Structure 1
């Protein structure tokens, strides 16, 4: 695995956590693997496609899988096989559970905390791309926050709300109030597709996003 660049698969090593990123087809979905340094326990975010690739990615050892939202490209081909092979506990935002055919063991709500080994992820509900989309926040005790945003926040804007102005307004306001108003510019953003970014890089564009409505 190459060093982490944010634009390609790679590994970022933190003091207590190792974050690995891989992209799987056909939709170039980002899958993230979080490994606790002290216990070796692993959590996967968005087991999307190419199940054999994902199983090799986690060495067929996995404690939990979190699906950031119900859209099929983030779970349809990968999640069933990964769960069957590893016995991992499944998590997803409560309003999205009905749209995911793999049973969800732990429906998630705003403010919930997911524990895996020695690390924790705080659940941030972001309504708009789907009713139950979630972001996952890791506060690195030795550095800056790391936020996994699914399809709710990307470089250049919030997620697609498919022309629904009400959904856009809800998503934008959630992203602004729960993320930009609460977290520092150094926060690293890991989206569901494409390259990474930081809150500092995106913050100057917030007014532009609101004005254009997407």
Structure 2
């Protein structure tokens, strides 16, 4: 089945098979949060991006293969409700940017701009995107066999950047980081996976950047 990225709370996950990595996307309630399980084909090692909620469903997704790491994209509670339980039951390490660490229910190891998070033989590059929260991060997988894959948390969605509560300074920081660290560095075929809702590509969204900046959200 062709991957579309369309998932609903309580529904079946969407699975994308890359040459070296499997990406499984699932939506959990009550706020339709996306969580992403990444599995390295060569080693079987798994990493979870955002233990958002519904720990039993996430643990079922992990299965018997174990979990190496849980990365939290930012400090907002709807992205970490299941974090404590998932870490306790799998022994996975928790990672977060230090500027958002105080918002989490458990101690987490720091990750910063330019760090890499291993997924077996694959790697995710950490990109610090200020604005939605002080320590929001995106995670970039540069697929050697195809287009890049980018996990953007709540910093970038189809149709615009994340919420900055109508704060012009936060919006300026967010749109600048999204434009310069993501759109300026990555090609149009880059597929991105947000913290809620449907996926997108940078090429589809690129023409709208001036409009987003002009409208201020």
TM-score interval (norm. to shorter): over 0.9
Deviation track 1:9-59 (CA, whole Å, cap 9, x = no partner) reads 311101110000000000110000000000000000000100101100111
| 3-state SS in 2 of match to 1:121 | strand
What is the CA distance between 1:94 and its match in structure 2? 1.2
What does residue range 38-53 of structure 1 map to in structure 2 within 5 Å? 38-53=42-57
Aligned-residue RMSD, C-alpha: 0.9
Q: Does 5-14 or 34-43 show the bigger shift?
A: 5-14
Tell whether 2:84 aligns with 1:85: no
How far apart in 2 are the matches of 1:50 and 1:113? 27
Matched, 1:200 2:196: no
1:122 pairs, out of 121, 125, 128, with 125
TM-score (norm 2): 0.95
User: With structure 1 as the length reference, what TM-score do the two structures score?
Assistant: 0.97
Q: Tell me what 1:23 maps to.
A: 27
1:165 to 163, 168, 193: 168
Q: 1:4: how far off? A: 2.2
How many matched pairs?
211
Q: Deviations over 1:137-165 (max 9, x none)?
A: 00001000000000000000000001111
- What's 1:112 paired with? 115
What is the distance in 1 between the residues matched to 2:67 and 2:105? Answer: 20
Q: Name the CA distance, whole Å, in 2 between partners of 1:156 and 1:64.
A: 30
Unmatched runs of 5 consecutive residues or more in structure 1: none
User: For residues 114 and 196 of structure 1, what CA distance do their matches in structure 2 show?
Assistant: 22
CA distance in 2, matches of 1:12, 1:93: 27
Runs of 4 or more, structure 1, over 6 Å off, are none
Name structure 2 gaps, 5 residues minimum.
8-12
